[in-house]
Structure 1
Amino acid sequence: MIRWVLLFIPLLLSALEFKVATYNVENLFDVQKEGGEYEEYVPNNKHGWNEAMLQIKIAHIARVIADIDADVIALEEVENKAVLKQLNVALGNKAYPYLFYPNKKERVTIETALLSRFPIDKASTIAIKDQPRGIHRITLKIKNQSLDVYINHWPAQKEKEEERLMYATTLHNILLKEEGKEYILLGDFNSPYQVQKDWGLALVTILKAGDKSASLYNLWYDLPQDKRYSHSYGKQKAALDHIIIPKTLSDGKGIEYNPSSLTVFTRPYMLDDKSDPKRWQISDRGRGVHQGDGYSDHFPITALFHTVND
């Protein structure tokens, strides 16, 4: 019996648990004027976005990312690969060996990026008709397994629901061809986990993400309803950021989701006086001057996964 246990221990040890996260960092711009910046992020103008402010912003975001300590993290609202590299350097001994940033279209101001401790085998962009930002598919090599990660940043709530429907329809049609494969959908979908009037139709009705009875499982259903939010604006709290998985990540093979591991990541320094996200501070409701304080208007969310030995 003892011999059998000793033989079994190496099999247990060879399994790998890893953490996946997504974090909207709220407008990480560099200080090089390229012509497409938002007004308050044009460098060295009346709003005070300059090298000193950039370094504060990077230090703040790096602190959050280092504390999350994810093995794979998607980042939304990053201006370019150069500032992504600056952020990675600021992580010091927690810097990531593998980075992804897409080839950005001219009309795109901010994009989605990925930091990974696992090798990136390949990457591609799924174009969305009449939309500047695409959805990016990154294939990671995790031990001897392949995992596709689809990183998303859909149009904001103020845009028409039809625009988010384009993203959902395109992604849904792609995933129909990926039946049986292992993948994770994550990012800022700018959609709640349940339909509110027309808002959320794209995520729920088209992509078919929901509870465990749905085609795709939205990990928000791991949490009590009053804990399901990652963004606040005024009195409105919403779950805009999502980690969504297919049934293949709960079938006992390959890569598996650790049940009930979804977490909204917070630390006291990230909270305002209402315990909501302490966003990056710009005076006069965002039209004034950068204050060098705050983090993001989103909380990160994280989830745990593991490899299964065949």
Structure 2
Amino acid sequence: MLILIILCLSLLCSCSCDIEHDPKTFRVLSYNVQNLFDARLDGGEYPEYQDPKVWNDRSYRMRLETLSKVLLSEKLLSPDVIILQEVEGPRVVEDLLCLHLGRKGYRWYAVAKGTDAAISVAVISRHPIASSTVHASAGIRPVLEATICTEGGDISLFALHAKSQIGDGADLRLSLAKVVSRASYERAGSAVLLCGDFNEDPSSVWDTAASAPALVDMNHPEATRLQAAGALGLVGDHAALAPGLYYCPYLDESWKGSAPGSCSWDGLWHRYDQILANGKLFDGMGWEYESFSIENLPSLCSSDGRPYAWNIRTLQGVSDHFPVLMTLKRR
């Protein structure tokens, strides 16, 4: 699989940043923005985006503006890093930065996309990206690793978008988990966050007969076997963290969310959008985990409180996912 990666360290657009810098706080936002394609027809777009009467420069710019208003909302507290899933490619990120986000200090970005893929993952940052790497395996979407330089030390972010629940994607989700597990384990001595749309609930091992989950709650009696098979081991108690395990706020009994989940399908809520933290964020040194939230802002909700999904036919809505936000603090 060939991978496209773009890293821009000095975006050529005007920047008059008025976001107050807080050296003791670091926030990461992860957001599946639901099929954000640019207006140029390259041939790899989904069919509904190939009709210029429906999808054109005007509708594209309108959607960029809608998304930028969300990302720059005061209620999101100016994330230091924004991780996006389902953007077409680097052109979308560049337009988003040059037209909207660049003036707020977002000047660094990286994008990873499979050659034959329609969509990609992106990392956008107000801090320098020291390095970026793509991790891949046959048949799966690429995982983008970006090392962010901060005054409190480097933070290794892994941006991913697992195969959806439509069709038979369990094996592909497990393959992606193996790639992420191996790559992130090499950064065990650093602060590590795994971010994105995992397309699997962290508690799914309890609710399904699937024999090969990509995520496993380590309280499950078969957890050790499943983790050895490649699943990412999750805990809800940071005291139980060990090398190769990740803290999942959803599994923490003390965590309280403002919404039952980050997305909803067939009337059921799911917690597919996640940010997982390794043990370095709970060792009392440098950056430390502070909080995690599902950001169901009023502008992102439909009348029933579920995500106001984007509808290309009506050119209404935002996304079928809510963004999730993790805050770190320097002790």
Q: TM-score when scaled to structure 1?
A: 0.85
Partner of 2:328: 305
RMSD, aligned α-carbons: 2.1
2:173 paired with 1:148: no
Partner of 2:12: none
Q: Secondary structure at the match of 2:215?
A: helix
Partner of 1:208: 233
Q: Which consecutive residues of structure 2, in runs of 5 or more, have no partner in the other structure?
A: 1-20, 217-225
Q: Secondary structure at the match of 2:307?
A: coil
Instruction: Give the letter aligned to residue 171 of structure 2.
Output: E
Instruction: Give the letter aligned to residue 232 of structure 2.
Output: L
- Runs of 4+ aligned residues of structure 1 deviating over 6 Å after TM superposition are none
Length, aligned pairs only: 283
Partner of 1:97: 107
- How many Å apart are 1:82 and its aligned residue? 1.0
Distance 1:170 1:65 in 2: 29
2:267 paired with 1:235: yes
Which moved further from structure 2: 210-219 or 78-87? 210-219
Of 175, 199, 204 in structure 2, the residue corresponding to residue 190 of structure 1 is 199
Q: 1:280 to 1:14 in 2, by over 3 A?
A: closer
Of 52, 56, 64 in structure 1, the residue corresponding to residue 62 of structure 2 is 56
Distance 1:15 1:223 in 2: 26
> Whose helix proportion is higher, 1 or 2?
1
Instruction: Give the letter aligned to residue 273 of structure 2.
Output: D
Which moved further from structure 2: 171-180 or 17-26? 171-180
Q: Which consecutive residues of structure 1, in runs of 5 or more, have no partner in the other structure?
A: 1-12, 283-289
Of 294, 297, 307 in structure 1, the residue corresponding to residue 317 of structure 2 is 294
Distance 2:122 2:246 in 1: 23
Which moved further from structure 2: 192-201 or 262-271? 192-201
- How many Å apart are 1:50 and its aligned residue? 1.3
2:297 paired with 1:267: yes
Distance 1:211 1:199 in 2: 22
- How many Å apart are 1:105 and its aligned residue? 2.8
Distance 1:235 1:248 in 2: 37
- How many Å apart are 1:15 and its aligned residue? 5.1
Query: For each residue in 1:3-59, what CA deviation from the matched residue of structure 2 results, as whole angstroms up to 9, or x when unmatched?
Result: xxxxxxxxxx995212111001101101111111001111405xx111121112111
Partner of 2:25: 17
Distance 2:134 2:184 in 1: 14
Distance 1:267 1:226 in 2: 10
Q: 1:147 to 1:90 in 2, by over 3 A?
A: same
Distance 1:266 1:179 in 2: 32
Q: 1:278 to 1:144 in 2, by over 3 A?
A: closer
Partner of 2:45: 37
- The answer to whether the 8 A contact 1:157-1:199 is kept is no
Distance 2:94 2:277 in 1: 29
Q: Secondary structure at the match of 1:60?
A: helix
Distance 2:261 2:152 in 1: 35
Q: Secondary structure at the match of 1:54?
A: helix
Of 140, 156, 171 in structure 1, the residue corresponding to residue 180 of structure 2 is 171
The percentage of counterpart residues that share the same residue type is 28
- How many Å apart are 1:95 and its aligned residue? 4.9
Distance 2:116 2:28 in 1: 29
Distance 1:86 1:148 in 2: 25
Distance 1:97 1:199 in 2: 43
Query: For each residue in 1:147-192, what CA deviation from the matched residue of structure 2 results, as whole angstroms up to 9, or x when unmatched?
Result: 1100010111114211100011122122333333211111111110
